[in-house]
Amino acid sequence: MRKLFHDIHLWISIPLGILFSVICLTGAILVFQEPLLQAMNPQVDISKMKRHDPAKKELTGYTFFQKTLVIHRWLLDPPAKKGERSIGKEIVGYGTLAMGIVLISGIVIWWPRNRKVLKNRLSVSCKNGMRRFGHDSHVSIGFYATLFLLIMCFTGLVWSFSWWREVFWSLFDFVPQEERKRFLYSLHTGLWGGVLTQIIYFFAALIGATLPLTGYYLWWKKRK
């Protein structure tokens, strides 16, 4: 069974790893979008501006974050009109779904058989060469980020697929209809716990961006 999950983890990650890195890196940049915009524009109270306020276009840094968002959600292929098809959005959606599968398979592979193995899989060795460091970084640091990455994946899928949207809101049907957009955005970006969870989400997303790179490195070293 473990070999099956290892194969799933490997053969999804090899073709899609770079896509995972792009999604995670742009997501990390967007975590602190509002605080950074506020810091760059101290003369304006951004918290009082509406989401699509035309005045936002004049803010320092706004264009950068908008371009980052277009990459994160649509891979530079935003729909011409709301509701229209976007190939970029579909790629991001299926990529996010694939990343969720990779993360779950990673947990199955990671799961230790005893306490000694558990200790090794929760720590990073810096004394046994680059290959061991790369392995430990992928396995241990990846484990610490997985829960938050899964939250980001499963909330992000709500914007991508109507069938998942129905499943998601059936699980969170206690959230009032008028609060659902805010609830989803807060859960996806880490706003729900304030600055602390935003910092955790930021580092988790950065780790998510590096996991394919360490994975490629380990795969390459194993093939040599």
Q: What is this structure's pTM?
A: 0.93
E strand residue ranges, 90-207: none
Task: Give the three-class secondary structure for 122.
Answer: coil
Q: How far is CA 159 from CA 92, 113, 155, in A?
A: 10, 38, 8
pLDDT of residue 113: 86
Beta carbons of 201 and 148 less than 8 angstroms apart: yes
Q: How far is CA 146 from CA 89, 121, 140, 204, in A?
A: 23, 14, 10, 8
- Nearest CA to 27 out of 145, 163, 137 is that of 145
Task: Give the three-class secondary structure for 46.
Answer: helix
Tell me the pLDDT tens digit for each residue of 203-223.
999 999 999 999 999 999 888
pLDDT of residue 77: 94
- Nearest CA to 169 out of 185, 180, 157, 153 is that of 180
- Nearest CA to 204 out of 190, 218, 183, 217 is that of 190
Tell me the pLDDT tens digit for each residue of 9-35.
999 999 999 999 999 999 999 999 989
Tell me the pLDDT tens digit for each residue of 86-137.
999 999 999 999 999 999 999 999 999 888 888 888 888 887 788 888 898 9
Distance CA 104, CA 108 (A): 7
Distance CA 214, CA 212 (A): 6
